[in-house]
A and B are shown apart, each in its own frame.
Chain A
Amino acid sequence: GIQVEQSPPDLILQEGANSTLRCNFSDSVNNLQWFHQNPWGQLINLFYIPSGTKQNGRLSATTVATERYSLLYISSSQTTDSGVYFCAVESDYKLSFGAGTTVTVRA
């Protein structure tokens, strides 16, 4: 199956800082989603982004499908951004998840 690698595994930020999370995948995919899992376990859709760039407030994402990677940008981080960020890629009707990046934003 498709391998999905996320980096870094852990990220500690001071409030107001910017950061970039990376997702590499091993094969062509039909689509790619970014999720945020909050401390209560809820998985929130951030982006559906098989290619190109999208922005939603302080978050933006870019996927370069031909080079098999995607980037998630967090700008002006806030404590509510803390949690685990997952990248998931779809192939053959199935989503394959990376292990996630745990982000801690300190006030």
Chain B
Amino acid sequence: DGGITQSPKYLFRKEGQNVTLSCEQNLNHDAMYWYRQDPGQGLRLIYYSQIVNDFQKGDIAEGYSVSREKKESFPLTVTSAQKNPTAFYLCASSRQVNQPQHFGDGTRLSIL
């Protein structure tokens, strides 16, 4: 089945630790995105990538990093510089930018 797979579903981070969230898609989409959702709020864009080996900062990129070495993969690293990382993280993809975005099931990150 074609789709977007995020792993893990739940992730716990210790203070001062970097963690990486995985996002893989087999839809052959060029564009991929990372969003953060806090309780009771809408989604906010962290980073997006229009094509392999290219990515751009979104509205809340500080404390996060990404890479796009393969078309199907767009991992997000939450660094120790992100002081309030507890949130629900959603990955999305679209055929190209300005096309409908489709979402994975998300990863819930918590601080121990």
Contacts and interface: CB of A to CB of B under 8 A. Distances in A.
Given A33-B101, A94-B58, A43 B90 contact: yes
Interface stretch (B19-27, B38-46, B73-81): B38-46
A43 B42 contact: no
A90 B95 CA distance: 15
B98 A90 contact: yes
A82 B84 CA distance: 29
Contacts of B1: none
Contact of B100 (A4, A33, A86, A97): A33
A53 interface: no
Chain A contact residues (Cβ within 8 angstroms of B): what range? 20 to 34
Contacts, number: 55
Given A95-B45, A97-B43, A99-B41, A31 B98 contact: yes
Chain B contact residues (Cβ within 8 angstroms of A): what range? 20 to 34
B105 interface: yes
B15 interface: no
B101 A95 contact: yes
Contacts of B40: 99
24 contacts: A30-B98, A31-B98, A33-B100, A35-B103, A40-B105, A41-B88, A41-B105, A42-B106, A43-B106, A48-B100, A86-B43, A88-B42, A90-B98, A93-B50, A93-B97, A94-B58, A95-B33, A95-B35, A95-B45, A97-B43, A99-B40, A99-B41, A100-B41, A100-B42
